[in-house]
């Protein structure tokens, strides 16, 4: 580093040029002295260079840029005192920043901001004022090297200052600063401003956002009629497909008959999305989504996923859809049913495989609150003719949950026995947890008809899924290849079933003390046989045909009738589902 700050052929006093920058890893500033030489050329000499490591507590980029500007103001104060010490006064100064957000903050009264920005803006204004700040692009800002790093071979050129300072000021490039606040700048400003001043920034956003439409666009009458007449996305799509076929047949263009084909459904779906996009003002999201029209006339988003060829084209360029459109709500309900009533996060990921719905996260939180409750109510009332009401537990009193807590405990114990020290892949875990969830929720709750064996009983799966479809049972094999991941997962599921049934079965029986009597089972009672030898998800219900009381009058052995025959069983292997009086009353 050359410690000589003044060239031998310099003329007059120097100009002070300060540059600052901030990034995720560092921030800092650099000050150059710009000397005019006797031959009319200019030379820059680096006086002070100070980089700082970014704070451990993560801060936004505008705040880090502000910290860099604050460091520059403190560096200039030190440099000014040194120059005055050698009798250099009345020199020109210019401070360059590549952040329009920080420039707007520095030129704003600090009392409008919250404490973090307010205190730092006030110190900057007291130290160097606001008149000498200018905007510079990042590629021409030497302080950018403090945050990104510099190659050793480029260090000598970097110390010579930016190239445009070597020319007269009339030949400097014009770094156009957009004086109008952009969306991103004003959003950051609104975050840092006090609530009493945020309304003024909202007015600026409304003035700058020319994309805000003055009049709402009218909905397409065909789409409005379909929304009023159809209650599901599948029905809307199929109905429109028939309408499009009718118009083609009426014009005698490619006439078709029979059922709707998959290609016609795709054309109908794309036409629906085009009608839905008519109510969307894409200019508001032009910077973030980069919307472009594809060959089908649909607006698709483009961004950083463009070059990832491993993703599907629909995921790289999803279809942009508005938030509060009735078609979008039907589409989300359709995906929700397709994903077997998953949570809002899973539904959000499923939707973003093909679509980019504006404000999807908050919209799902609003509309999914009553979906599952309404669906469970419809299943119980329509399919099983049951009336129900919700009973909520007292907060912080899980011990009052009774049987549910016992069930949770049994599942944890079974998981601990079968899954401890087991290395599963993501696909194995997905298969394992899906089938275990079905196993746990496959236990019978009540018979669904008068004939006990004519139809399967009501289970939690029927209420949650709306249907009774048992997963395929694996065929037993004498020799299993340990490399076969599917068979390995199936073995874990079988082990879980046996272990969980061992922990779960006792919880089905009341925990009475020996001195408390319990009503004997009677002929005609409906019971559930507990046998670990049964295949998973297989629950055998039976009717009591005979009872065998002991000398003390207590029944410990019964004869029961199942769908396949009659057997003698001890009562500790049975669980009472419904008494004879309850069955007769139904």
Q: List phi, psi (to 5°) of 177.
A: -100, 125
Domains and CATH numbers, the chain: 15-192 (3.30.420), 221-239+263-378 (no CATH), 400-508 (no CATH), 525-584 (2.30.30)
Distances (CA, A) of 108 to 255, 350, 355, 544: 68, 45, 41, 85
Structure tokens at 244: 């499009």
Q: What angle do CA 101, 104, 110 make, to 5 degrees?
A: 115
- Residues in the chain, total: 586
Decide if pLDDT at 355 tops 80: yes
Instruction: Indicate the pLDDT class of residue 511, thresholds 50, 70 and 90.
Output: very low
Instruction: Quote the pLDDT of residue 513.
Output: 42
**Model confidence pLDDT, tens digit, residues 103-149:** 888 988 888 888 889 999 999 999 888 888 999 988 889 998 888 88
Instruction: Indicate the pLDDT class of residue 286, thresholds 50, 70 and 90.
Output: low
Considering 296-310, 325-339, 385-399, the range whose residues carry the highest mean pLDDT is 325-339
What whole-number distance in Å separates Cα of residue 349 and Cα of residue 370? 20
Around 262, how many Cα atoms within 13 Å sit in the side-chain half-sphere?
0
Structure tokens at 116: 């973090």
Instruction: Quote the pLDDT of residue 468.
Output: 62
| Distant-in-sequence, close-in-space partners of 181: CB < 8 Å, separation ≥ 6 | 104, 189, 201, 204, 205, 208
Average pLDDT, the chain: 79
Decide if pLDDT at 384 tops 70: no
Instruction: Quote the pLDDT of residue 192.
Output: 79
Decide if pLDDT at 285 tops 80: no
Instruction: Quote the pLDDT of residue 545.
Output: 92
Q: What angle do CA 213, 215, 218 make, to 5 degrees?
A: 110
Average pLDDT over every residue of 347-369: 81
Decide if pLDDT at 159 tops 60: yes
Instruction: Quote the pLDDT of residue 49.
Output: 92
Instruction: Quote the pLDDT of residue 50.
Output: 92
Instruction: Quote the pLDDT of residue 179.
Output: 46
Taking the model in full, what pTM does it have? 0.40
Helix, strand and coil in the chain, % to nearest 5:
45, 15, 40
**Model confidence pLDDT, tens digit, residues 366-377:** 777 666 666 666
Instruction: Quote the pLDDT of residue 29.
Output: 93
The rounded percent of the chain whose pLDDT value lies above 70 is 78
DSSP annotation string for 80-142 = HHHHHHTT--S--EEEEES-HHHHHHHTS-GGGB-HHHHHHHHHHHHHH-STTEEE--GGG-T
| Distant-in-sequence, close-in-space partners of 493: CB < 8 Å, separation ≥ 6 | 432, 435, 436, 439, 536
Instruction: Quote the pLDDT of residue 210.
Output: 39
Decide if pLDDT at 208 tops 50: no
The rounded percent of the chain whose pLDDT value lies above 90 is 9
| Distant-in-sequence, close-in-space partners of 133: CB < 8 Å, separation ≥ 6 | 95, 96, 97, 103, 106, 107
Instruction: Quote the pLDDT of residue 67.
Output: 93
- Among the ranges given (379-383, 388-392, 485-489, 495-499), the one the predictor scored with the smallest mean pLDDT: 379-383
What whole-number distance in Å separates Cα of residue 361 and Cα of residue 69? 36
Instruction: Quote the pLDDT of residue 130.
Output: 86
Residue bearing the bigger pLDDT, 74 or 476: 74
Residue bearing the bigger pLDDT, 10 or 535: 10
Residue bearing the bigger pLDDT, 204 or 426: 426
Residue bearing the bigger pLDDT, 398 or 506: 398
Name the β-bridge partners of 16: 33, 93
What whole-number distance in Å separates Cα of residue 366 and Cα of residue 345? 13
């Amino acid at each position: 580093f050359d410690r000589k700050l003044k060239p031998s052929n310099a003329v007059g006093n120097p100009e002070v040029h300060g540059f600052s920058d901030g990034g995720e890893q560092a921030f800092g500033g650099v000050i150059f002295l710009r000397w005019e030489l006797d031959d009319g050329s200019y030379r820059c000499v680096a006086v002070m260079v100070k980089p700082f490591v970014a704070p451990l507590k993560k801060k936004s980029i505008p705040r880090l840029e502000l910290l860099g500007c604050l460091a520059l103001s403190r560096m200039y104060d030190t440099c000014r005192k040194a120059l005055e010490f050698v009798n250099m006064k009345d020199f020109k100064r210019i401070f360059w920043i590549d952040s329009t957000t920080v420039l707007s903050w520095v030129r704003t009264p600090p009392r409008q901001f919250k404490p973090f920005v307010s205190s730092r803006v006030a110190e900057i204004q007291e130290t160097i004022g606001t008149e000498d700040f200018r905007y510079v692009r990042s590629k021409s800002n030497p302080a950018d090297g403090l945050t990104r790093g510099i190659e050793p071979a480029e260090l000598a050129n970097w110390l010579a200052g930016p190239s445009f300072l070597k020319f007269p000021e009339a030949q400097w490039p014009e770094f156009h600063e957009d004086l109008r606040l952009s969306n991103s700048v004003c959003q950051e400003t609104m975050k840092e401003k006090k609530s009493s001043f945020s309304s003024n920034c909202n007015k600026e956003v409304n003035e700058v956002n020319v994309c805000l439409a003055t009049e709402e666009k009218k909905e397409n009458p065909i789409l409005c009629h379909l929304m009023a007449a159809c209650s599901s996305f599948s029905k809307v799509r199929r109905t429109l497909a028939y309408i499009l076929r009718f118009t083609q047949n009426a014009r005698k263009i490619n006439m078709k008959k029979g059922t709707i084909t998959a290609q016609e459904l795709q054309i109908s779906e794309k036409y629906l999305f085009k009608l839905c996009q008519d109510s969307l003002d894409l200019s508001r999201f032009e910077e973030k989504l980069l919307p472009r029209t594809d060959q089908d006339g649909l607006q698709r988003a483009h961004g950083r996923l463009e070059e990832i060829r491993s993703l599907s084209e629909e995921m790289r360029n999803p279809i942009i859809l508005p938030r509060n459109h009735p078609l979008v709500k039907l589409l989300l309900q359709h995906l929700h049913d397709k994903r077997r009533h998953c949570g809002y996060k899973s539904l959000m990921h499923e939707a973003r495989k093909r679509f980019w719905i504006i404000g999807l996260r908050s919209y799902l939180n609003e509309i999914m609150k009553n979906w599952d409750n309404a669906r469970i109510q419809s299943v119980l009332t329509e399919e099983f003719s049951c009336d129900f009401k919700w009973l909520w537990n007292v907060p912080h009193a899980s011990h009052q949950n009774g049987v549910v807590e016992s069930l949770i405990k049994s599942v944890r114990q079974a998981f601990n026995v079968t899954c401890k020290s087991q290395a599963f892949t993501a696909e194995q875990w997905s298969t394992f947890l899906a089938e275990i969830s079905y196993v746990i929720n496959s236990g019978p709750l009540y018979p669904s008809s008068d004939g006990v064996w004519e139809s399967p009983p009501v289970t939690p799966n029927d209420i949650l899924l709306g249907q009774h479809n048992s997963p395929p049972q694996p065929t037993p094999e004498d020799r299993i290849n340990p490399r076969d991941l599917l068979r390995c997962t199936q073995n874990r599921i079988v082990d879980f079933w046996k272990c969980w049934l061992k922990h779960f079965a006792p919880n089905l029986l009341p925990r009475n003390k020996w001195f408390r009597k319990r009503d004997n089972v009677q002929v005609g009672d409906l019971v559930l046989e507990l046998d670990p030898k049964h295949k998973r998800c297989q629950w055998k219900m039976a009717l009591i045909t005979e009872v065998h009381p002991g000398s003390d009058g207590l029944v410990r052995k019964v004869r029961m009738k199942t769908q396949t025959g009659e057997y003698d069983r001890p009562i500790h292997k049975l669980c009472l589902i419904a008494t004879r009086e309850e069955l007769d009353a139904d």
